[in-house]
Amino acid sequence: MKKALLAAVLAVFATPALAQQAQSPAQRLDALDKRITRLEDMNAVERVQRAYGYFVDKGQWTQLSELFADDATLEIGGRGIFVGRKRVLEYMHGAFGPDGPKEGLLAQHMQFQPIVDISPDGKTAWVRSRAFVMSVGGWGLPLYEDEFTKEGGVWKFKRESGPFTMYTSWKGWGHDALNNTWPDKFDPPPDLPPSTVYLTYPAYWIVPFHYPNPVTGKPFPVDPVGAYHRPPGTPEQAAAREAGKLADGTQAIAEPPRN
């Protein structure tokens, strides 16, 4: 995104005045169109992520599944990867029952703090955001690193990745913490195993950022990513650092914008 921004800045602002004058009015309007489209796209992507949250709140699984592209993937907690819109719906129906809210059930998944980036070609978007869960089961903190695709002018989920930061009972995280990430205690089974093995609070895993530091422009550091459960410097911590990576050594989940 940083690069995209730089490119846009170079194209629109930093171009020497002479060169800008050399651009035809139509070319300058083309550049303006791109900037307006990017702002509209950012709003549209946020809207899809927020609509997702409101559908979760009220158990609208069919509507929710329609926010996904045909070949989209879904990975929540540590439950493995579900491939395709139909499997997204199966996952939701299997885990949470038929469409509609139920008497005595509260499962608020409030969608906060989105950071949206659009690819330079305007066809792909990424969101880092969080859900704050207030439910009959207690409190929860999923984090999202999601990817969106623009198909026919409409933004859809291409990949939803929702690893958990913390889950606890109503008594709170000072009292207990639930490791809510087992793939084996959940039905239906996933199409693919989890992309990442990690631990939730009181351990932590830094979900890779899809975007670089917005001030320095430095990419998210590859190294300290891991499910730390021992103090830094211990062999256990060193081993746990590898837990947040794929077998080929790359990080799972987040894909930074390319080019």
Positions that interact with another protein (CB under 8 A): 25-26, 29-30, 32-33, 36, 39-40, 43-44, 47-48, 50-51, 53-54, 58, 60, 63, 66-67, 100-106, 108, 110-112, 132, 134-136, 138, 153-156, 170
Strands in the chain per DSSP E: 68-76, 81-83, 107-118, 124-135, 138-151, 154-162, 164-168
Cβ 257 to another protein shortest distance, Å: 22
Q: What is the closest distance, in whole angstroms, from the C-beta atom of residue 31 to another protein in the complex?
A: 11
Q: Residue 164: beta bridge partners?
A: 142
What minimum distance in Å lies between the beta carbon of 24 and another protein? Answer: 9
In sequence order, which residues have a C-beta less than 8 Å from that of residue 95 and are 6 or more positions away? Answer: 186, 187
Distance CA 208, CA 79 (A): 19
Q: Strands 138-151 and 154-162, how do they pair?
A: antiparallel
For another protein, the closer of residues 170 and 213 by Cβ is: 170
CB of 64 to another protein, least distance (A): 9
Structure tokens at 80: 């493995």
153 vs 233, beta carbon nearer another protein: 153
Nearer to another protein, 47 or 86 (CB): 47
Please identify, using beta-carbon distances, which residue of 99 and 212 lies nearer to another protein.
Answer: 99
Distance (Å, rounded) from C-alpha 72 to C-alpha 62?
Answer: 15
What is the C-alpha to C-alpha distance for residues 7 and 251, in angstroms, rounded to an integer?
27
Nearer to another protein, 169 or 250 (CB): 169
Nearer to another protein, 28 or 230 (CB): 28
Judge whether 16 and 228 are in contact, CB under 8 Å: no
**Pairing relation of β-strands 154-162 and 68-76?**
parallel
The least CB distance from residue 16 to another protein, in Å, is 23
Supply the minimum distance, in Å, between the C-beta of residue 227 and another protein: 29
> Which residues, 6+ apart, have CB-to-CB distance to 15 below 8 Å?
23
